[in-house]
Amino acid sequence: MFSRGERIRTVAVLAAALTVLCGCVRPGEAVPQRVDLATLDVGSNSVDPMTPPASSTEKYGRVLESVRMGEAVLDPVEVDPTLTNGISNRTAPLPTPLKAAGILAEPVREVLESQDMLAGFVVSGSDANFRGKAPEIGSARLLTVLLLRFPDDTKARLAARQMNATDAAVTADNVAVRIAEYPGAFAHWRPTVPTMAATLAHGSFVVSVLAAHTSPDQAALLAMVRKTFDAQLPRLQDFQPTAPDRFADLPLDRDGMVARVLPFGAGHWPPPTVITADTDANAGWSASIEIGGVVLGPRATRLMKHFGFQDPIEVVAVNGNNVVERFPDAVSARRVFTKERQAANPATMIDTPVGVPDVYCNKLDQHPASPAQVYCHVLYGRYTASIIGRSPAHAAQQSAAQYALLVRSE
């Protein structure tokens, strides 16, 4: 079992979410410890909670609706109980065809655009821990599931068929596969490659599946795809999609969580953002997704397994490398924080910022040119935060500022 610090060193970006809380645990209600914030060295960082912009946009609303869809996506362990490992930066909202094409084959982007894709979410799981690297096909069982939304049932059905046809046409070796239990599904595979892709329309949604096994076993791959549809379709029954003309009305800051995250610059509200990168034009597992300015719901939080989030976190705000978690109460937050601090590698621990009651920092094993050199956990009340610094001094100021921001956000 890896400590959170070890997981972060392997992932390197989007540092895992932390868990730290400030205050003593005594019988009765936990009360955060008070410090004189004026004594903290926060550098040039602002410690004043920001207010979200008065109005949003359809662009930002698509990101927020995609985040909401994370509450309707299956967990890979529902398909195969061995798929307990998250694939680094492969579980995230997909608000546009461009972002979805980072996971799917690049030519599929035109299909998604032509059918007016509205929003989406992707989740990935594996039975192996690749330590932040792209998975090697054939070395493990892998599953990636995309849930994509379209304006209506007709466009979803067309998208499902065209997505499969376009992806299959990328390689002449692809062969069509029939799924008896789902006659409306489309699937294909290459008999010499241990992967299979499938799409299925369900109402205005399309479920896209990319499954991989340790050998080109068609029966095993078909079983993974079938079980994925079995698990995913019932989850859509309770999801209430937002009307497209109301996307701009979705709140920019759920429960005031984004306001508690240290911003990139003083006075700069972090807009809902999704950044994708891919090194392969074909569908696969090489894509990486980073998110910012969003609040993950309880289910999406638990699907982000590469972050190493711990129960009983309620919601999480993510802004690039900076993350704030909310626990049900201060006691549960401290319990998790204490567990993670004890699991941290003592050999990499460095001095913590002066005056911050509950914080610990670790030097990361990174290339000297990497901007991620130090990782700190900060705790206040029922909130914890993770900070990535480019040097010990920078991380200390960032951590002190994050602590002060949590205090001032009460």
Is the pLDDT confidence value at 205 over 50? yes
Instruction: Check residue 280 and give its pLDDT.
Output: 61
pLDDT band (50, 70, 90) for residue 10 = very low
Q: What DSSP assignment string belongs to 295-357?
A: EE-HHHHHH-GGGT--TT--EEEEETTEEEEE-SSHHHHHHHHHHHHHHS-GGGEEPPPTT-S
Q: Residues 68, 297: contact at Cβ < 8 Å?
A: yes
Instruction: Check residue 104 and give its pLDDT.
Output: 92
How far apart are alpha carbons 75 and 77 in whole angstroms? 5
pLDDT band (50, 70, 90) for residue 65 = very high
pLDDT band (50, 70, 90) for residue 21 = very low
In this prediction, residues 82-105 reach a mean pLDDT of 93
In this prediction, residues 191-212 reach a mean pLDDT of 97
How far apart are alpha carbons 86 and 314 in whole angstroms? 19
Report the 10 Å Cβ neighbour count for 346: 7
pLDDT band (50, 70, 90) for residue 20 = very low
pLDDT band (50, 70, 90) for residue 17 = very low
How far apart are alpha carbons 191 and 175 in whole angstroms? 8
Of the chain, the percentage scoring pLDDT greater than 70 comes to 90
Q: Any idea which of 26-40, 108-122, 139-153, 312-326 has the lowest mean pLDDT?
A: 26-40
Instruction: Check residue 13 and give its pLDDT.
Output: 34
Is the pLDDT confidence value at 25 over 60? no
Name the region of 12 (left: φ>0; alpha: ψ -120 to 50; beta: rest): left
Mean confidence (pLDDT) of the chain = 90
In this prediction, residues 213-227 reach a mean pLDDT of 98
Is the pLDDT confidence value at 363 over 60? yes
Of the chain, the percentage scoring pLDDT greater than 90 comes to 80
In this prediction, residues 154-158 reach a mean pLDDT of 98
The more confidently predicted of residues 369 and 168 is: 168
Instruction: Check residue 263 and give its pLDDT.
Output: 85
How far apart are alpha carbons 224 and 399 in whole angstroms? 44
Instruction: Check residue 285 and give its pLDDT.
Output: 67
How far apart are alpha carbons 319 and 264 in whole angstroms? 8
Instruction: Please report, to the nearest 10 degrees, the dihedral formed by the alpha carbons of residues 242, 87, 361, 346 taken in order.
Output: 150
User: Which domains, and CATH codes, for the chain?
Assistant: 4-53+252-408 (no CATH), 58-238 (3.40.1000)
Determine the distance from the C-alpha atom of residue 146 to the mean position of all C-alpha atoms in its chain, rounded to a whole number: 13
In this prediction, residues 373-387 reach a mean pLDDT of 96
Q: Residues 362, 375: contact at Cβ < 8 Å?
A: yes
Is the pLDDT confidence value at 69 over 90? yes
Q: Any idea which of 129-143, 208-222, 319-333 has the lowest mean pLDDT?
A: 129-143
Instruction: Check residue 24 and give its pLDDT.
Output: 41
Instruction: Check residue 264 and give its pLDDT.
Output: 78
- Condensed to tens digits (0 to 9), the pLDDT of residues 281-328 reads 555 667 789 999 999 999 999 999 988 888 899 999 999 889 999 999
Sheet strands side by side (includes 142-149): 92-93, 119-126, 142-149, 205-212, 195-202, 186-189, 175-177
Name the region of 62 (left: φ>0; alpha: ψ -120 to 50; beta: rest): alpha
Determine the distance from the C-alpha atom of residue 22 to the mean position of all C-alpha atoms in its chain, rounded to a whole number: 26
